[in-house]
Amino acid sequence: MKTKILKIDPLDFDEKDLIEACNVIKSGGLVAFPTETVYGLGASAFKENAVDNIFKVKGRAKDNPLIVHVDSFEKLLEIAEVDEKYFEAINKLTPGPVTFVLKQKVNLPKNVTAGLKTVGVRIPAHPVARKLCKCAGLIAAPSANLSGKPSPTDSQAVIEDLFGKIDFIIDAGSSEFGLESTIIDLTSEIPIILRPGPITIEQLESIFGKVEIPQFVIDASSVENPKAPGMKYRHYAPEKPVYRFNEVQREKVIKKAISENGVFICPEEHKKFYPDDRIMILGKLSEPYSIAQNLFKVLREFDRSNFKVAFIEAFEEKGILLSVMNRLKKASVEVEL
Ligand code: TXA
Ligand code: MG
């Protein structure tokens, strides 16, 4: 298949620049598009065959539902039931990097929701994503990567995984957050966090009061019966091995890395600890959102590099770094020394 790539300046574009991509979606094709979290692979949420193609192209398990993207709160209310007590909170958080799991109001094709009675809905803030939803209607979209690979945070990553397999790629530069949206289930009395993300647990607690944090959100290995079906699969992982380690293991890990052609993935502030020629920088500890922004990008850079193995420092699980660790625990294993 021929894949068309369209470059767009997200700060300076016209609605008509998106007409072709919009028509591709309306006629049942697949379009990779930028959002502020990661790039999405979109199909019309009402076209069952197009949605089927998303699963085929990604190699995605059928029991893993997709997020439906809409451009406004009004549209969200058309497809989902929302308890009025949550209206204010939703309006505070949207548009933005958060997905709400809600009771389904309309009958979406079964493959969108994996047969669940709920639906994940997101109102993205990225101007291109929103305009595309405005034009094409409801867009069902997972991240635009092959299943199991790190989510794409720029068009290069999308091209690497999906070029020749989808109709269209909109390239609007790098994603602002670099981590998938926070998912919060609003179908029970107390909101439940299903996936930590750019909106932190601390922020959610300040907006919702009490929230439930299931064990699998913190401890990636306890995913026996996760409520977000996607959380149980191997995820975010490069082809090559990635080991995570703690400060106290640093000296031993340096020896191991040198003997195994390894590279260190670390924040700017810690590069002084490692050999100059074995470093990939992951943002700054003093600006923790920069670490989230670079995580998937650097994991892909490692895959393209000549290094055989990567060693990455574990972070304290607070704020955005808790979300980073959630992904990292799935992409890596603890080093054995
Ligand atoms: O930031 C994001 O959320 C990106 C952009 C493209 O919007 N999308 C994304 O989609 O990360 P995906 O498919 O990679 O992850 C969606 C997650 C999966 O873990 C899935 O199980 C969960 O959302 N999910 C979707 N609908 C659900 C539902 N009704 N109940 C529980 N979990 C749901
Ligand atoms: Mg994904």
For ligand 1, say whether the CB of 122 is within 6 Å of any of its atoms.
yes
Nearest-5° angle of CA 177, CA 144, CA 287? 15
CA-to-CA distance for 266 and 35, rounded, in angstroms? 26
Q: What is the pLDDT of residues 14-66, one digit of tens each?
A: 999 999 999 999 999 999 999 999 999 999 999 999 999 999 999 999 999 99
What pLDDT score was predicted for residue 297? 97
Alpha helices in the chain (DSSP H): 19-26, 48-58, 73-79, 87-93, 110-113, 127-136, 155-162, 201-208, 215-218, 250-259, 288-304, 320-331
Both structure tokens of 136: 């094409």
Residue 143 C-alpha to ligand 2 middle, in angstroms?
A: 4
What pLDDT score was predicted for residue 216? 87
CA-to-CA distance for 194 and 226, rounded, in angstroms? 8
Paired with 32 in beta bridges are 41, 169
Under-70 pLDDT residues of the chain: 220-234
Round to the nearest angstrom and report the end-to-end CA distance of the chain. 47
What pLDDT score was predicted for residue 218? 83
Residue 66 C-alpha to ligand 1 middle, in angstroms?
A: 5
For ligand 1, say whether the CB of 183 is within 6 Å of any of its atoms.
yes
Provide the 3-class DSSP secondary structure of residue 160: helix
Please check whether residue 333 is in contact with residue 220, taking contact to mean a CB–CB distance below 8 angstroms. no
Q: Which of 55, 76, 98, 99 to mutate to test the pocket of ligand 1 (most atoms within 8 A of CB)?
A: 99
What pLDDT score was predicted for residue 239? 85
- Do strands 168-171 and 309-313 pair parallel, antiparallel, or not at all (unpaired)? unpaired
Please check whether residue 177 is in contact with residue 289, taking contact to mean a CB–CB distance below 8 angstroms. yes
For ligand 1, say whether the CB of 40 is within 6 Å of any of its atoms.
yes
For ligand 1, say whether the CB of 113 is within 6 Å of any of its atoms.
yes
Residue 301 C-alpha to ligand 1 middle, in angstroms?
A: 25
Residue 311 C-alpha to ligand 2 middle, in angstroms?
A: 23
Per-residue CA distances from 129 to 12, 14, 77, 125 (Å)? 14, 13, 19, 7
Atom of ligand 1 nearest to the CA of 122: 7
Residue 312 C-alpha to ligand 1 middle, in angstroms?
A: 26
Q: ω before 152 within 30° of 0 (cis)?
A: no
Please check whether residue 293 is in contact with residue 180, taking contact to mean a CB–CB distance below 8 angstroms. no
Chain centre to alpha carbon of residue 263: 25
CA-to-CA distance for 148 and 174, rounded, in angstroms? 20
For ligand 1, say whether the CB of 143 is within 6 Å of any of its atoms.
yes
Model pTM? 0.96
Residues 6+ apart with CB under 8 A from 36: 96, 97, 124, 125, 126, 129, 175, 176, 177
For ligand 1, say whether the CB of 64 is within 6 Å of any of its atoms.
yes
Both structure tokens of 61: 């398990």
Per-residue CA distances from 185 to 71, 152, 173, 211, 282 (Å)? 20, 25, 30, 10, 31
Both structure tokens of 163: 């070029």
Paired with 168 in beta bridges are 4, 31
Residue 37 C-alpha to ligand 2 middle, in angstroms?
A: 11
